[in-house]
Amino acid sequence: MAINETEISTLGEFGLIDRITRDFKIQNDSTQVAVGDDCAVLNYGDKRTLVTTDLLLEGIHFDLTYVPLKHLGYKAAVVNFSDIYAMNGTPRQITVSLGISKRFTVEHIDELYAGIMLACKEYGVDLIGGDTSASVTGLLISITCIGEGEEGKIVYRSGATDTNLVCVSGDLGAAYMGLQLLEREREVGAGIPDFQPDFAGKEYLLERQLKPEARRDVIAELRSLGIQPTAMMDVSDGLSSELLHICKASNVGCRIYEDRIPIDYQTAIMAEELNMNLVTAAMNGGEDYELLFTVPLTDHEKVQQMKTARLIGRITKPELGACLVTRDDNELPLKAQGWNAFNKD
Contact 296, 314 (CB under 8 A): no
Residue type (1 letter), 269 = I
Domain assignment of residue 109, given as a range: 8-150
206 and 306 together in one domain: yes
118 and 187 together in one domain: no
Contact 195, 308 (CB under 8 A): no
Q: What is the mean pLDDT of the chain?
A: 89
78 and 201 together in one domain: no
pLDDT of residue 342: 44
pLDDT digit string, tens, across residues 153-165: 999 999 999 999 9
pLDDT at 341 exceeding the cut of 50: no
What's the CA gap between 229 and 294, in Å, rounded? 6
**291 in a domain, yes or no?**
yes
Arithmetic mean of pLDDT, 70-85: 96
Q: What is the DSSP string of 59-108?
A: TTTB-TTT--HHHHHHHHHHHHHHHHHTTT-EEEEEEEEEEE-TT--HHH
pLDDT at 214 exceeding the cut of 90: yes
Domain end (from 122, 150, 178): 150
Arithmetic mean of pLDDT, 172-178: 97
pLDDT of residue 64: 93
pLDDT of residue 47: 76
302 and 173 together in one domain: yes
pLDDT of residue 296: 98
Higher pLDDT, 122 or 194: 122
Mean pLDDT check: name the lowest of 14-23, 68-77, 198-207, 322-331.
14-23
What's the CA gap between 89 and 48, in Å, rounded? 9
**210 in a domain, yes or no?**
yes
**342 in a domain, yes or no?**
no
Mean pLDDT check: name the lowest of 91-105, 147-161, 211-225, 275-289.
91-105
Higher pLDDT, 18 or 77: 77
State how many domains the chain has: 2
| Beta-strand relationship, 40-43 and 31-33 | antiparallel
Contact 125, 95 (CB under 8 A): no
| Beta-strand relationship, 309-316 and 331-333 | unpaired
132 and 217 together in one domain: no
184 and 293 together in one domain: yes
Question: pTM, whole model, 2 decimals?
Answer: 0.86
Please name the residues in contact with 220: beta carbons below 8 A apart, sequence gap of 6 or more: none
Instruction: Please report, rounded to a whole number, the percentage of residues in the chain having pLDDT higher than 90.
Output: 64
Arithmetic mean of pLDDT, 182-192: 84
256 and 117 together in one domain: no
Domain end (from 129, 150, 171): 150
Please give the C-alpha separations between residue 313 and each of 64, 165, 236, 289, 324, in angstroms, as whole numbers.
Answer: 38, 6, 19, 19, 9
**110 in a domain, yes or no?**
yes
pLDDT at 3 exceeding the cut of 70: no
pLDDT of residue 118: 94
107 and 50 together in one domain: yes
pLDDT digit string, tens, across residues 222-266: 999 999 999 999 999 999 999 999 999 999 999 999 999 999 999
Please give the C-alpha separations between residue 289 and each of 48, 134, 163, 239, 335, in angstroms, as whole numbers.
Answer: 23, 30, 25, 10, 19
- The CATH code of the domain that includes 54 is 3.30.1330.10
What's the CA gap between 68 and 326, in Å, rounded? 39
Please name the residues in contact with 228: beta carbons below 8 A apart, sequence gap of 6 or more: 153, 155, 222, 295
**248 in a domain, yes or no?**
yes
- The CATH code of the domain that includes 275 is 3.90.650.10
Q: Hey, is 22 helix, strand or coil? A: coil
134 and 104 together in one domain: yes
98 and 193 together in one domain: no
**338 in a domain, yes or no?**
no
pLDDT at 190 exceeding the cut of 80: no
pLDDT at 215 exceeding the cut of 60: yes
pLDDT digit string, tens, across residues 300-338: 999 999 999 999 999 999 999 999 999 999 999 999 775
pLDDT digit string, tens, across residues 91-143: 988 888 888 898 988 889 999 989 999 999 999 988 887 788 889 989 999 99
120 and 191 together in one domain: no
pLDDT at 204 exceeding the cut of 50: yes
Domain end (from 150, 176, 199): 150
φ, ψ of residue 144 to 5 degrees: the values are -110, 130
**340 in a domain, yes or no?**
no
**13 in a domain, yes or no?**
yes
Arithmetic mean of pLDDT, 42-67: 86
112 and 195 together in one domain: no
